[in-house]
Amino acid sequence: MHRIPMHESKCRAFHGHRYAAEITCLAPLDSLGRVVDFGVVKQLVGGWIDQHWDHTAILMEGDPEAGPIAEANARLGRPVYWMKTHPTAENVVAELAEIAQKLLAETGVKVVSIRLWETPNGSAEWRLAQD
């Protein structure tokens, strides 16, 4: 669940999405001919998503309407994930990219892009800046 405070349309109300993320990693191929075992990405990044974003609310710090949602989630044992920015698809995918890079750093792979699908026909993409 999220909302975009001050949005000019219906996204200013609390609503949910069925997000899906596609992560692209880069590294030299290992002896098996792969960049990374998909299970490692699922365990590290997917595990983080399950713990912090699944069945919860992604809200902007200071959102004046968020109090009852945060209180209900706390009472029901689920966190609210507080962002410093509006939780748009663009900002959420940038947040995920920062987190995924940290989580996968020790594996030797570099996260080069993430596409976050908010709806089946709407997505935002983050790409690693070229050096």
Q: Which amino acids are annotated catalytic?
A: 11, 55, 118
DSSP letter for each residue of 55-120: TSEEEETT-TT-HHHHHHHHHTT--EEEESS---HHHHHHHHHHHHHHHHGGGT-EEEEEEEEEET
Q: CA-CA distance, 45 to 53, in Å (whole number)? A: 11
